[in-house]
Amino acid sequence: MNQPLALKWIKLNLCLLLVLNAMQSRAVTTDQFSVHGLAAFNEEQANMLQSWLSQGVNATRATLGIYPTPLRLHVYPRKSNQPVPWAYTRRDKKGSVHFHVDTRFGLTKFVDDWTIYHELAHMALPYLGSEYRWLSEGFASYMQYQIMAQAGILKGTLEERYSSKINPHLRWFNSDLTAASIARRLMDNKQYPAAYWGSAYFFVLADSKLQQQHNIGLTQLISLYQDCCRANDNNLEEVLTSLDGMIEGKLFNQLIKEFENRPARKLYPEVLNQ
Ligand SMILES: [Zn+2]
C-alpha cells in the first residue's frame, strides 16, 4: 500500500470510528420509541413490558444503529404457550411494530425470545414490496441472531444457529430455477421457515463478501446506512444502490442479479458448514 492510499484508509477508518462513537454516545430516550396499549395490563405487567421493549430497542440499535424515525411499538394481551405468540410490522407512513404478548411469562423469557429482534430488524430497511417479502424476511431472520449475539443472549454460536436453521431448507435450492423464484414460491405456499431461512442465505453471502472485499461487516454497514440513507430510500433498488454507494462497489446489485438470474444450485451449498 503506498503512502496516500494508506493515509486515505486511515482517514476512512477514523471517519467510521467517529460516526460509530457519535451513535453510541446518544443515550436511549423516550423519543426513540413510544409504547401503546399498556393500559390493557396491570402496573407490574406494564413495567415488565416496558423493560423488555427498552432492552429490545437498545440491543437492536447497538447492532443496527439508530433508526431515523422513532419506533412506535404496540402491545396486546394474548394467552399462549410462549411470551410473544404473534407479532408483525405495519408499513404505513411512519411504520409501527405490533406484539401480542402473554405476560404470565417473566422478563427473562421475553428477553430471550427472538421475536422482538426480528421485528425491529425489519424496520432497518424500508418496505421492499410484496415481490421482495422473501428478502425482507431473510434480512430480519439473519439480523435477529446478530442482535442477540451482540447482546450476549444467543444460545450457541452464530455459525451454529445459522447452520441449524438454514441447512434443513437447502434442498429446495438444489435446483436450476433461480433462488429468487424459489424463495417467492415458498413464500406463496406459506412454507415460511424454508422461505425465511433460505433467503437469509442471501445475507450470509453478502456479509462474507463484505468482510472479504471491503473489510466491513453487514451490521456495521447497516448501522451507517441509518445515518446516511435510510430516511431517503423507498424501495429495494434504492436500498441496494445506497449500500453499494457506501462501499463504492457493486456487491449488492450484483448479488440480487445473481439471485434473480442464476440457477440456485450455483449459489447455494448442499450443506452450510461455517
Ligand atoms: Zn418477519
| CA of 88 relative to ligand 1 center, distance in Å | 7
| CA of 97 relative to ligand 1 center, distance in Å | 11
Mean pLDDT of the region 202-222? 98
How many beta carbons lie within 10 A of that of residue 114, not counting itself?
Answer: 17
- Residue 92 grid cell: 404505513
134 in the same domain as 114: no
- Whole-number pLDDT of residue 93: 79
CB 141 within 8 A of CB 196: yes
Range of the domain at 110: 23-122
Mean pLDDT of the region 218-242? 97
Q: Where is the domain boundary, 69, 99, 122?
A: 122
154 in the same domain as 71: no
- Whole-number pLDDT of residue 92: 82
- Whole-number pLDDT of residue 32: 80
Instruction: Quote the CA–CA distance of 270 and 167 in Å, as a whole number.
Output: 8
Instruction: Quote the CA–CA distance of 147 and 199 in Å, as a whole number.
Output: 18
89 in the same domain as 195: no
| CA of 113 relative to ligand 1 center, distance in Å | 14
- Whole-number pLDDT of residue 27: 47
| CA of 11 relative to ligand 1 center, distance in Å | 37
| CA of 135 relative to ligand 1 center, distance in Å | 10
Instruction: Identify the residue with better confidence: 1 or 92.
Output: 92
**145-156: pLDDT as tens digits:** 999 999 999 999
The label of the residue with cell 454460536 reads 157
Residue 10 lies in a domain: no
| CA of 114 relative to ligand 1 center, distance in Å | 11
109 in the same domain as 35: yes
Instruction: Give the N- to C-terminal CA distance of the chain in Å, as an integer.
Output: 31
- Whole-number pLDDT of residue 22: 45
Q: Which residues pair with 133 in a beta bridge?
A: none
Q: Where is the domain boundary, 122, 152, 170?
A: 122
Q: Where is the domain boundary, 95, 122, 149?
A: 122
| CA of 141 relative to ligand 1 center, distance in Å | 7
159 in the same domain as 94: no
179 in the same domain as 145: yes
- Whole-number pLDDT of residue 31: 56
**71-85: pLDDT as tens digits:** 999 999 999 999 999
Does residue 270 register a pLDDT over 50?
A: yes
* Strand residues in the chain grouped as ranges (E): 33-36, 71-77, 86-90, 96-101
| CA of 99 relative to ligand 1 center, distance in Å | 12
Q: Which residues pair with 76 in a beta bridge?
A: 100
Residue 272 lies in a domain: no
Mean pLDDT of the region 63-74? 95
Residue 53 lies in a domain: yes
| CA of 89 relative to ligand 1 center, distance in Å | 8
Q: What percent of the chain has pLDDT over 70?
A: 88
- Who contacts 121 (Cβ-Cβ below 8 Å, separation ≥6)? 60, 64, 139, 140, 143, 144, 147
Instruction: Quote the CA–CA distance of 126 and 135 in Å, as a whole number.
Output: 12
110 in the same domain as 137: no
Residue 147 lies in a domain: yes
158 in the same domain as 186: yes
Average pLDDT score, the chain: 91
- Whole-number pLDDT of residue 24: 46
| CA of 9 relative to ligand 1 center, distance in Å | 37
Instruction: Quote the CA–CA distance of 150 and 76 in Å, as a whole number.
Output: 28
Residue 13 lies in a domain: no
114 in the same domain as 146: no
- Helix 218-228 crosses helix 43-64 at what angle (to 10 degrees)? 100
67 in the same domain as 138: no
Residue 274 lies in a domain: no
Long-range contacts (CB closer than 8 Å, 24 or more residues apart) made by 115-118: 115/84, 115/87, 116/52, 116/53, 116/56, 116/60, 116/84, 116/87, 117/56, 117/59, 117/60, 117/143, 117/144, 117/145, 117/147, 117/148, 118/87, 118/143, 118/144
| CA of 258 relative to ligand 1 center, distance in Å | 23
Residue 12 lies in a domain: no
Domain count, the chain: 2
Q: Residue 80 — φ and ψ, nearest 5°? A: -160, 180
Residue 245 pLDDT grade (very low, low, confident, very high; cuts 50, 70, 90): very high
CB 244 within 8 A of CB 138: no
Mean pLDDT of the region 221-248? 97
Number of H helices, E strands in the chain: 11, 4
| CA of 133 relative to ligand 1 center, distance in Å | 9
Q: What pTM does this model have? A: 0.89
Residue 244 lies in a domain: yes
Does residue 224 register a pLDDT over 70?
A: yes
144 in the same domain as 85: no
226 in the same domain as 110: no
| CA of 194 relative to ligand 1 center, distance in Å | 13
